[in-house]
Amino acid sequence: MLIQLIVSGVLISAIYALATTGFTLLYGVSGILNLAHGTTLATAGIMAWYLIGTGHVDPFSAIGLGALTGMVVGLVTYGVIIRPLQTMLKLSTTDEHVFMLVATLLWTIILQEGLAYTFGDVPVSVPQLVPGIVEIFGVRTPISSVLVAVFSWLVIGLLWFYVSKTRSGQTILAASMNPKALVLCGVNLKRVHLVVWAIYGGLAGIAGVLVAMILGVSPSGGMELTATAFSIVVLGGLGSVGGTLIAANLIGFIETATAYAISPSLRGLPALIILIIVLYVRPQGLFGRR
């Protein structure tokens, strides 16, 4: 029982970690909380499901196409919602913050209802990568789930390598620390933001397909995914990628334990309550900077 819990916890936490790193990276660099995050995941997941359903695409390529879908959604979000809001309206910082939240919320509804209209508002799941079952410490686990977890950490590792070892990645890191100084160094900040949104979308797209594989997605379920992602990111400390990874594991385990011990329908509840408590005691999150 305990081992089973740990195994499922590790698997689900890996996806949660991948599904939230993009969200926190985006906040760290551009200061934007994309409330359409969960719906971006759902869009990629549903697209992968649809493409596989046509019969021309296998699950592996579907992950790639999902990443592409996420990237397109991310760039459209930036180009149609975020950028115009920043340039067209002369808003104070507080106002811009709230307008951003409201605008991404409206964008969520537009995306969600567009998906519901095109594909129907039903939960869909992407078929497993490979058939078969493997025993881990005596726990029977689908091989596909293990692959998904490994793949998630691999993508996170690649992201870490990109941000800390490449020049382009270092620029992004610098933009999250001091954008003004970066502009003085002659870097085009707008291009940095475009790159970040593209990376964000790609990460969200991959995560969306994997979430659709393990948990399933639906158009109207996007908002719940946003809430989970939001809880994880805030718990870890907004903008702190390391904190997000730890929080993703924490929430993943708590949800799995709740689902096993109490009821699967209540899996989200303890995480939400913990989130509130953490916010009250330590508003900057467990690992966030003030």
Partner 1 sequence: MTVSHLPTWARLAILAVLTALAALLPYVGLQEYTLSILTLGLFFAVYAMNWDLLFGYAGEANFGATFLIGTGAYTAAMMSSNGVATPLVCVAAGAGAAVIAGALLAFPALRLRGPYFGLVTLVAVLIMRQLIILFSDKTGGEIGIAVPDVIAIDSATNFHIALGAAAITAAILHLLVRSPFGLILEAIGQDPVNAQVQGFNIVKYKLAAFCISAFFSGLAGALMVFYLGTASTNVFVDGAVGVQIIIAAIIGGRRTIFGPILGAIFMVAAAEYLRPLGGPLSEMTVALIALIVLFFLPGGLLGLATILRRRRAA
Q: Which of 68, 91, 136, 195 binds partner 1 (CB under 8 A)?
A: 91
Give the range of 97-105, 131-139, 171-179, 191-199 binding partner 1 by CB under 8 A. 97-105
CA torsion angle 108 254 217 23 (round to 10):
40
Helix (H, G, I), strand (E, B) or coil at 58: coil
What are the Cα distances from residue 25, in Å, to 159, 186, 244, 259?
A: 10, 22, 10, 29
In the structure encoding, which two tokens stand for residue 167, read together?
């020049």
- Decide if residue 143 touches partner 1 (CB under 8 A): no
Is residue 54 at the binding interface for partner 1, with CB under 8 A as the rule? no
Please choose, from the candidates 46, 119, 44, 109, the residue with its C-alpha nearest in 3D space to the C-alpha of residue 81: 109
Using CB under 8 A as the binding criterion, the count of chain residues that bind partner 1 stands at 42
Tell me whether residue 96 or residue 187 sits nearer to partner 1 (CB atom). Answer: 96
Site for partner 1 (CB under 8 A): which residue of 227, 257, 259, 286? 227
Pick 57 or 269: Cβ nearer partner 1: 269
Radius of gyration of the chain measured on its C-alpha atoms: 19
78 makes contact with partner 1 (CB under 8 A): no
- Pair 133, 140: CB distance under 8 Å: yes
Q: Could you give the dihedral angle defined by the CA atoms of residues 284, 285, 288 and 290, in that order, rounded to the nearest 10 degrees?
A: 10
Residues that bind partner 1 (CB under 8 A): 33, 81, 84-85, 88-89, 91-92, 94, 97-99, 101-103, 105-107, 109-110, 113-114, 116-117, 121, 223, 227, 230-231, 234, 238, 265-266, 268-269, 272-273, 275-276, 279-280, 283
